[in-house]
Structure 1
Amino acid sequence: MSSDADRDGDARPGPGRAQRDHWERTYGAHPGMYGDEPSAPAVRAAEVFLALGARNVLELGAGHGRDALFFARSGLTVTAADFSPAGLDQLGARATADGLSDRVTTAVVDVRDPLPFADASVDAVFAHMLLCMALSTEEIHSLVAEVRRVLRPGGTFVYTVRHTGDAHYGAGTGHGDDIWEHGGFAVHFFSRALVDALVEGWTLDEVIAFEEGDLPRRLWRVTQTRR
């Protein structure tokens, strides 16, 4: 399954197309750039998903797959979606090498488009720093509505975002709408008001602050359940 709407051109405003090309080059130049260990949010999300009896998970922004492969090793069936074929090729090769190809499916998806998955078809959705990429506020709202559509009632969505308390907020090149580009990577920094605005039709379970990396990046891990 893939979304090919903008492969041959993208007239939409904003830095999204440039960012897609930037990530494709980055994954191509630095295979496995985030290493093999899962992210801390993925470890926590797996605990939540398994405790709720989830069997399958959709990961948005899966990249080269460190978290998707962790979910598969934990016993979940995973659909790993990303807009970078290079990252997904690395993920697929690793899944095959690790004997996990029966649990992992990859899909080239641009989350600015409707998700190419059926209504109420997944138990859980995970997105680590995907929502805070170069997406407008309108696109973020549309994406969360799509996540709600593909989740089964009672399904859980765990996502992480860099927020406006991060050291890079306001630094670099501003694109408007709280999007700032630093070192070639554009980030939409979330306010708490935006987090709260995204829970219509959901139950907000928790918002947890944490730090990651050397800067460190300051993030929220948000867990919400479809009503």
Structure 2
Amino acid sequence: MNASFWDERYREGRAGWDIGEPAPPFVEFLQEQDAPSFGKIVVPGSGNGHDALFFAAKGFEVTGFDFAPSAVSTSQKRAKEMGLSHQINFVQQDIFKLPNPYKGSFDFAVEHTCFCAIDPGLREDYVHAIHSLLKPGGMLVAVFYTHGREGGPPFSTSANEVTQLFSTKFEIKRLHPPKRSHHQRAGEELFGLLHAKPL
């Protein structure tokens, strides 16, 4: 699936994965007593920008990558309307072909609906790509889609698969169903905190 596949869905209003708000598990995470309050965040597959803009509004410096030009344009417009253009940068980019200057630049990566959108055969490459973007000890904050249905996108995953794939490059600190989910995703998500292992 190339950029035009995703761009067509955004342009035609068929982005069914877009819940129109930041993922509730991220909101809950930043309400925790020991939650981080600053740092550089990368959001792969940032879509219409709901999660990226949420973290930017909380004071983080955010970069969002998306394949689809329409999604990037919408996100940039929303950032300007919200007065967050100085906090956030949206870039049209394939996350598997990121330029070297982005490597090792981020304290956090925020995953929501990118991992489930890519071909499952690319999931090991995804793990490598995210790890390469993080500083040593950086953290992946993730919501994984575990709907259990055949086919995709969105392609389902499981706690076992996440553990198997990510444990090669990450130390899994937390991986559990979130207390809060969007009503369309209730019972079909895992929230994860994964620390990047040293190279």
Please say whether Structure 1 and Structure 2 have the same fold, judged by a TM-score greater than 0.5.
Answer: yes
> In the alignment, is residue 192 of structure 1 matched against residue 154 of structure 2?
no
Quote the Cα distance in structure 1 between the aligned partners of 2:194 and 2:91.
24
What stretches of structure 2 of length at least 5 have no aligned partner?
none
Answer with 208-217 or 192-201: which moved more.
Answer: 208-217
Written as runs of structure 1 = structure 2, the 5 A alignment for 1:81-100 is 81-100=65-84
> Where does residue 161 of structure 1 map in the other structure?
144
TM-score normalised by structure 1 residue count: 0.74
Tell me the CA shift for residue 213 of structure 1.
3.7
Tell me the CA shift for residue 75 of structure 1.
0.3
Which digits, 9 at most, give the CA deviation of each residue in 1:101-151, with x for residues without a partner?
A: 11111111223x2333433211100010210113223x1111111211111
> In the alignment, is residue 143 of structure 1 matched against residue 126 of structure 2?
yes
Quote the Cα distance in structure 1 between the aligned partners of 2:64 and 2:81.
16
> Where does residue 225 of structure 1 map in the other structure?
195
Report SS of the residue matched to 2:97: coil
Distance 1:153 1:37, change over 3 A: same
2:89 is aligned, of 105, 118, 123, to: 105
Quote the Cα distance in structure 2 between the aligned partners of 1:99 and 1:106.
14
8 Å Cα contact 2:177/2:190 also seen in 1: yes
> Where does residue 207 of structure 1 map in the other structure?
175
8 Å Cα contact 1:32/1:90 also seen in 2: no
> Where does residue 40 of structure 2 map in the other structure?
56
Tell me the CA shift for residue 23 of structure 1.
2.6
Tell me the CA shift for residue 215 of structure 1.
6.6
1:121 is aligned, of 105, 119, 122, to: 105
Quote the Cα distance in structure 2 between the aligned partners of 1:103 and 1:32.
25
Tell me the CA shift for residue 214 of structure 1.
3.3
Tell me the CA shift for residue 35 of structure 1.
6.4
Tell me the CA shift for residue 222 of structure 1.
1.7
Written as runs of structure 1 = structure 2, the 5 A alignment for 1:172-183 is 180-181=151-152
C-alpha RMSD of the superposition? 2.5
Distance 1:96 1:32, change over 3 A: farther
**Match of 1:29, as an amino acid?**
E
Larger radius of gyration: 1
8 Å Cα contact 1:160/1:220 also seen in 2: yes
Answer with 70-79 or 192-201: which moved more.
Answer: 192-201
Quote the Cα distance in structure 2 between the aligned partners of 1:215 and 1:154.
30
Distance 1:214 1:201, change over 3 A: closer
Tell me the CA shift for residue 46 of structure 1.
4.2
Return structure 1 stretches of 4+ with deviation > 6 angstroms.
none
Q: How many residues align?
A: 191
Determine which structure has the larger helix proportion and give its number: 2
What stretches of structure 1 of length at least 5 have no aligned partner?
1-15, 171-179
> In the alignment, is residue 72 of structure 1 matched against residue 39 of structure 2?
no
**Match of 2:54, as an amino acid?**
F
Quote the Cα distance in structure 1 between the aligned partners of 2:128 and 2:41.
17
Report SS of the residue matched to 1:188: coil
8 Å Cα contact 2:138/2:196 also seen in 1: yes
8 Å Cα contact 2:61/2:88 also seen in 1: yes
Overall identity of the aligned pairs, in %:
22
